[in-house]
Structure 1
Amino acid sequence: MYHSVGDCSDDPYRVTVTPERLDRQLRWLRRRGLRGVSVAELLAARARGEGRGLVGLTFDDGYTDFLDNALPVLTRWKCTATLFVLPGRLGGDNAWDPLGPRKPLLTADGVRRAAGAGMEIGSHGLTHVDLTRADDTLLKAETVESRALLEELTGVPAAGFCYPYGTVDRRVMDAVRDAGYSYACAIDPGELSGPHVLPRLHVGQHDGAVRLLLKYRLHRLRRRPVAGLR
């Protein structure tokens, strides 16, 4: 799980990695016979029994620095990724973060450019709100309307959803499934399990080779296999 790729000098939430660090992290994967792919590609490969050697890569929020800083590194290492964007905030910024610098978000053209470069485009909701606190009307807008807008934008139905802040409960999970998404990404979904609450591992600026290895091993130990997936 990544977010922004750029300058880390003002990063109170620790959601930014530099392009140089991302390059070293992807090189670490490739040297171990692993390749980063979109979540949709990973799940399709696993369904065929061919997922060995693949690692799902996600980038949340849809910052403009994805095109300038992340995409060239992904291309260099022959990786793809899933970019979770906010169709209700295209061309805006991360106004939901009270601390830290304002970071611009991709425009509609930027999202299309990322899709054209082979990246999967998924929904992060419309506006980045905690869906566990949303009423039914807002929950439907954040899930159903965001998917419709992304299909209109890219010409492809969005298969994946990513819960803002990683927060999810059964009501929200059911709403995402009912909106037509085939999978959804959380962070640590607790007792919930299945393809609509896929757990992810945060990767940050300080994660070098040793930390990556430890995180990988600990993640596998603390997360049981996801029901419904091989």
Structure 2
Amino acid sequence: MNAMPFVLMYHSVEKYDSDPFRVTVSPDRFAGQLRWLAGRGLTGVSMGELLRARATGNARGLVGLTFDDGYDDFLGEVVPALLRHRFTATVFVLSGLLGGHNTWDAGGPRKRLMDADGVRRAARQGMEIGSHSAGHRSLPGLGEAELREEVATSKAVLEDMLGDRVSGFCYPYGHVTGREVAAVRDAGYSYACAIWRSELSGGHALPRTYVGDRDGALRLRAKWLRHRVRWGR
């Protein structure tokens, strides 16, 4: 199996009191994580930029930054912090829930999602927009028509909204089998992000490294080294 790029998986960045699902990073911690990357001579980039650089052999020092779900704090907290370091990122949004809330996280705090205008604003500031499906449903349990709605129709909706191509997909919950990989490839996505390393790992099931609020410099370094040992890079 070819070496995989180092890709960090985030969700939400904001101040919080309770976070049972550990999807939130405080702004101060996030700022420190970006400083850690910059201090090691690493540059955070969108997945599209990272994969294009890898294709030409120019990806040294680049780290993929991804944000799942498309929370409204991506505009208020994430983008300004990224721009201070001249970093970019990919945000995977839900085409059928724009302007809504994270209703799939029962028992957790309600978080608002970016609306269509917010997604367009993020794109204008240099961020890559990808699809996280239409409604954040676990894809392996869906029928063929529902799977097409979540994968192919989501892509078409976002491309119409942005007036630009949507190249990346992210599997909700990281749930993916060979059927979903084939559906994503057939829909015309150039790449897709998963979570865990598996026999499917590759361009349409890229593993990522989770980053949470507990990840300071020592834990980030350990995750970086673990990736290098695991993938030989």
- Alignment equivalent of 1:48, drawn from 46, 53, 56: 56
The alignment status of 1:141 with 2:149, answered yes or no, reads: yes
Output aligned runs, 1:62-211, within 5 Å: 62-211=70-219
Q: Deviation of residue 157 (structure 1)?
A: 1.3
Deviations 1:65-84 (A, max 9, x none): 11011111001111000000
Partner Cα separation in structure 2 for residue 3 and residue 193 of structure 1: 21
Deviations 1:145-170 (A, max 9, x none): 00001101111111000000011110
- Alignment equivalent of 2:22, drawn from 14, 21, 33: 14
Look up the SS of the partner of 2:210 in the other structure.
coil
Displaced runs of 4 or more, over 4 A? none
Deviations 1:72-98 (A, max 9, x none): 100111100000000100110000011
Q: Deviation of residue 214 (structure 1)?
A: 0.6
Partner Cα separation in structure 2 for residue 210 and residue 180 of structure 1: 39
Of residues 213-222 and 85-94 in structure 1, the stretch that sits farther from structure 2 once superposed is 213-222
**Conserved? CA contact 1:94–1:104, under 8 Å:** yes
**Conserved? CA contact 1:168–1:189, under 8 Å:** no
> What's the counterpart of residue 228 of structure 2?
220
Partner Cα separation in structure 1 for residue 231 and residue 184 of structure 2: 22
> What's the counterpart of residue 26 of structure 1?
34
Q: Deviation of residue 20 (structure 1)?
A: 1.1
Structure 2: gaps (5+ residues):
1-8
Q: Deviation of residue 224 (structure 1)?
A: 7.1
**Conserved? CA contact 1:126–1:142, under 8 Å:** yes
- The aligned amino acid for 2:131 is S
Q: Deviation of residue 215 (structure 1)?
A: 1.1
Q: Deviation of residue 194 (structure 1)?
A: 1.7
Q: Deviation of residue 223 (structure 1)?
A: 4.5
- The aligned amino acid for 2:165 is P
**Conserved? CA contact 1:92–1:104, under 8 Å:** yes
**Conserved? CA contact 1:36–1:54, under 8 Å:** yes
Deviations 1:193-218 (A, max 9, x none): 22000000000101001000111111
**Conserved? CA contact 1:38–1:81, under 8 Å:** yes
TM-score (normalizing by structure 2): 0.94
TM-score (normalizing by structure 1): 0.95
Partner Cα separation in structure 1 for residue 57 and residue 205 of structure 2: 21
Q: Deviation of residue 222 (structure 1)?
A: 3.2
Task: Flag the structure with more relative contact order, 1 or 2, with Cα contacts below 8 A and sequence separation at least 6.
Answer: 2
Partner Cα separation in structure 2 for residue 111 and residue 39 of structure 1: 17
